[in-house]
Amino acid sequence: MNKLENLWAGWRKEYLISANSHNYKDDFGKTLFESIDQSELSDQETFVIERRALTMLLLNAYPYNSGHLLIVPRRSVKTLAELSSEEHESLWKMVTDATKVLQEVFSPDGINIGLNQGESAGAGVPNHLHVHVVPRWSGDTNFTTVTANTRVIPEALIDTWTRISEVWLKEN
């Protein structure tokens, strides 16, 4: 029987603590995603791709791969159970739409879709539920992540945002 090995990504903890100050809200009591949604900055600056009535789609500013998207309810909720039926439907419709667009833009070998509900489950923003949609390719992880604590992202975020936004507008 093979023994399970663990690889640690300790660098993530520093980012999570600094990004969220452990209370996970800004000085005005807003979550990170509420602050982005209500910001006066342009969508290009905040990497927002679309705002629907109940949900929002944005590019992850700290991606695991090019095209790493986040889908969030516009209302801050901590758990799936707190979503209204309409929010639930909107959230999963946007996840489905995001996978179609990522397939067209990046032609990935696969796509990871998931959420971490609660801090103990690994949620970086535990007070505001969000779904990760991450395109994946065979061999997209390599030795640099382990040996140099570095992830290689081959495209600038603004270029990724532009490519996804252009296709998103045509498809949705």
Active site residue 130: yes
Summary mean pLDDT of the chain: 84
Confidence label for 172 from pLDDT (cuts 50, 70 and 90): confident
Provide the pLDDT for residue 120: 81
Classify burial at 75, counting beta carbons within 10 Å of its beta carbon; exposed 0-12, middle 13-18, buried 19 or more.
Answer: middle
Q: Is pLDDT above 50 for 23?
A: no
Out of 14-28, 69-83, 113-127, least confident range = 14-28
Say whether pLDDT at 79 is over 80: yes
| Options 3.40.50.2300, 3.30.428.10, 3.40.1210.10, 3.30.420.40; CATH of 29-171 | 3.30.428.10
Q: What is the mean pLDDT of residues 153-166?
A: 89
Mean predicted confidence (pLDDT) in 10-20: 54
Sheet arrangement for strand 69-73:
48-51, 55-59, 69-73, 131-136, 110-114
- Of the residues 22, 88, 128, 130, only one is catalytic, namely 130
DSSP 72: E
Q: How far is CA 132 from the centre of its chain?
A: 4
For the chain, how many residues are written? 172
How does pLDDT run across 85-143, given as a tens digit for each residue?
999 999 999 999 999 999 999 999 999 999 988 888 877 888 899 999 999 988 776 55
Predicted confidence at residue 11, as pLDDT, reads: 57
